[in-house]
Chains A and B, each alone.
Chain A
């Protein structure tokens, strides 16, 4: 029979070791992988390539960026027809900021903030996907209309988080707004969600008759503007763009080819996309711009806000 004090010593040693071990495990759990940490949000949209693009005045942009606590962003409008349809764009990044600031990207769903800016939700549409060379984006799609009539506003919003692919704002686990903060924290802990970087691309297409036409316009004029230009001379560029265009066509072929099966196919493609992706944590989207701030007179403000200077829009890798 062993003396009891030896057991006590082992227990004490284990107890002492457990503290650093727990620290190590917690550290491993809480810190994201190095790959994810180094991953930067791809700059999918190059504003200088967009036609008829007007930046939001810097003052309004600064206000929005401060409110959202993001590190960089731009907002602007692509006019499609004078006095007619237009696309309001917003790009927001949270890079190398603290986690709560990063989580601004998932604060709430679009209908919450659009509703608070006076645009009631008319319809939640099946999500849209777009395959960039850098990755897949899933756009949450909603339609709004001002009470008493007005042009339909189709909002497409995609969230990118370092380490995740094809995040869908409305998938299971995301968008539960019963107690958003608690849910978000729980999911953050459970899924080791500590992204160092996040980005949101949000577009509101105003004045198009249907959501599918609004998406088509958004895709043609913003996501893949190169596909419209017949006067391309750079062959290497051409092949790159045609690849992109093919990919994008494939990605939303289900949306475009057959209208009657559109929603079903979108749902299916969305589910299949999500099945082989890492589990994402709970999140919802961010209200980036109340509609009232869109209607600024045409101006030629610089693309980059003076408050958040950045040498070029292309991220250096």
Chain B
């Protein structure tokens, strides 16, 4: 029977029969698709995922990280929950400095089916490269066992020490006042580092005493602690540390580092023979860069500079750093600038610009200072590493160029990635930005931190204030968010005044606004201009114009942010249209005359940050009771 016959057979059936047959066939196809399509699709997807996984593994093995990342991400996108794919994505992103690394690391960290080794790696990435806000949010997501595990606590302790959050670091290290057990050496290392990083005489003394105790207990383990003591200033070295080093020194075969360390300790404690001992130290046959480094540790920058020639500094990164540090400490700014301008390949260019800016400041070269400050930011912006801006900001703070530090922190906030510190750490810088009326930059900072530290009430209040000023938040939402905060902490003045501001914008009844002010117990004479103007606006809204105008006439409007002036003037016109001047220009800062540039001292650090220093007395090893002669001489 050929095809024509089949057609004839079909056409000669009744219409209803043909329709029913078509419906039955289509129904069967639909049923089959319903029953088997998901399984078939899943098979196809898993087959593709298998291929992608093989490709990702192979690419990772040979270092083709972009291919590894995209192949492994394909697997995850297909909905296959493969722990290995997540690990490959994380590792490839780590190698590529991908800005999404922290997000992936947090996902790996909280994933229950991920192997422990991957979660540990993710946690190390978080602690190393994540913002402190993300670390503090991720910590409660760890399981109880992970939080207690030593290998999970170690990276956190390192980060806390680097961020100078000492009380929490001590808790993580696990030192308590009543503990008498000997710490494992890796914790002892962190503890000694913490004590030295504190930068106080007490911290340095305790660090040395702990090293001495460890030397007596286990000299081999103490070898790991001794390099840390090299950063203790010469004048803070104590006799018992020197004595312990001298006792531990073998009669023969003393290593170079051990000899130099012992001589330095001797010079530190034996002040009358200091020069003679330092001469002996520097006459030790050794690599000039090593000797120069020890000369710096012995407060001999001129001799260190003499040891490292300009040619050496122009050819080698380590020599360059030592020579620059020596010249900086020797205050030989002209030579330092020449050395910096001939920096070898491999140095961090942005940091060289910071050093150049510091030198320009010392030489009073305003143009060079401005140019180096700008260059530093541009170079760091072009760098591919996510932490380049944070690193630049910290370096600029260390070198005392806060103008670069502020700009770098703002840029870091704009990027939103990198090891950003806690908001509290940047509070002084935020105050400086406000004083400089850089409200756009303030906006970048508070927006970034609203994401990084969503539970920090101070961040919330600062964010709400700026967001209200700039129309980023509806007043109603701000009122709803701030009310519970005020009920919880009635004395939290910034929150209360931000609520007043939101209430003014949200047409809150004047009586309620007045109650908010009266309950605040603010010393109005000593509060900020913004707070006083807000009070004036509340009084104006309550039709107490005389009192309000007295406040408005007394405040310095030019100290407010530009948006504050704009908004507060608008509110004033709304509440008292008869008395409010229409002339907003009167409140704007005067245009700066040409040549009337800011004093170069504006580049000097204004606010010195003070950390929360913990009580460290209990860290003294039990068998050492300090006596008079054990104190620094």
Contacts and interface: CB of A to CB of B under 8 A. Distances in A.
Given A81-B563, A84-B563, A213-B570, A208 B583 contact: no
Contact of A210 (B440, B505, B577): B505
B585 interface: yes
Interface stretch (B5-13, B170-178, B470-478): B470-478
B192 to A, nearest CB: 47
Given A84-B439, A208-B471, A209-B505, A217 B577 contact: no
Interface string B563-575: 1001100110110
Nearest to A151: B471
B472 A84 contact: no
Nearest to B585: A228
A83 B468 CA distance: 15
A3 interface: no
Contacts of A257: 577
Tell me the dominant secondary structure on chain A's binding face: loop
Contact of B586 (A83, A230, A253): A230
B507 interface: yes
B584 interface: yes
A209 B471 contact: yes
A41 interface: no
Contacts of A149: 472
A58 to B, nearest CB: 28
A114 B584 CA distance: 31
A269 interface: no
Contacts of A176: none
A2 interface: no
Nearest to B506: A210
B306 interface: no
A220 B584 contact: yes
A210 B478 CA distance: 13
A33 to B, nearest CB: 39
B440 A82 contact: yes
A248 to B, nearest CB: 10
Contacts of A220: 570, 582, 584
B548 interface: no
A290 B509 CA distance: 38
Contacts of B574: 212-213, 216, 256, 259
A227 B577 CA distance: 14
Interface string A220-232: 1000000111100
B566 A230 contact: no
A260 B570 contact: no
Q: How large is the interface on B (under 10, 10 to 19, 20 to 34, 35 or more residues)?
A: 20 to 34
Nearest to B571: A213
Interface string A245-265: 100010001001101100000
Interface in A106-163: 149-152
Contacts of A259: 507, 574
B288 interface: no
A88 B395 CA distance: 41
A92 B388 CA distance: 48
Given A81-B439, A85-B470, A249-B577, A210 B583 contact: no
A210 B567 CA distance: 9
A32 interface: no
A206 interface: yes
B471 A207 contact: yes
B459 interface: no
Contacts of B505: 209-210, 213
B471 A152 contact: yes
A227 B582 contact: yes
A30 interface: no
A230 B585 contact: yes
Interface residues of A, number: 32
Given A207-B471, A220-B582, A83 B440 contact: yes
B66 interface: no
Contacts of A256: 573-574, 577
Contacts, number: 84
Most-contacted residue by chain B among A208, A214, A217 (CB, 10 A):
A208
Contact of B440 (A84, A206, A245, A249): A84
A304 interface: no
B467 to A, nearest CB: 9
Contact of A207 (B470, B474, B582): B470
A210 B570 CA distance: 10
B377 interface: no
A152 B471 CA distance: 5
B436 to A, nearest CB: 12
A80 interface: yes
A229 B571 CA distance: 19
B566 A228 contact: no
A114 B505 CA distance: 25
B263 interface: no
B583 A228 contact: yes
B469 interface: yes
B471 A85 contact: yes
Given A82-B440, A82-B562, A230-B586, A150 B567 contact: no
A272 B481 CA distance: 40
Nearest to B478: A209
Interface in B491-510: 505, 507
A207 B567 CA distance: 10
A80 B471 CA distance: 14
Contact of B566 (A81, A83, A210, A260): A81
Contact of B471 (A82, A206, A212, A227): A206
Contacts of A260: 507
Contacts of B440: 82-84
A249 B505 CA distance: 21
A228 B471 contact: no
Nearest to B509: A260
Interface in A238-296: 245, 249, 253, 256-257, 259-260
26 contacts: A81-B439, A81-B563, A82-B562, A85-B471, A85-B566, A152-B471, A152-B472, A152-B474, A207-B472, A207-B563, A208-B471, A209-B468, A209-B470, A209-B471, A209-B475, A210-B505, A213-B505, A213-B570, A214-B471, A216-B570, A217-B566, A220-B570, A245-B582, A253-B577, A257-B577, A259-B574
- Which 7 residue pairs across A and B have the least CB separation, nearest first? A83-B440, A152-B471, A81-B562, A213-B570, A216-B570, A151-B471, A227-B582
Given A84-B566, A150-B472, 14 more contacts: A80-B562, A82-B562, A84-B563, A151-B470, A151-B471, A151-B472, A152-B472, A208-B570, A213-B505, A213-B574, A216-B574, A220-B582, A230-B585, A260-B507
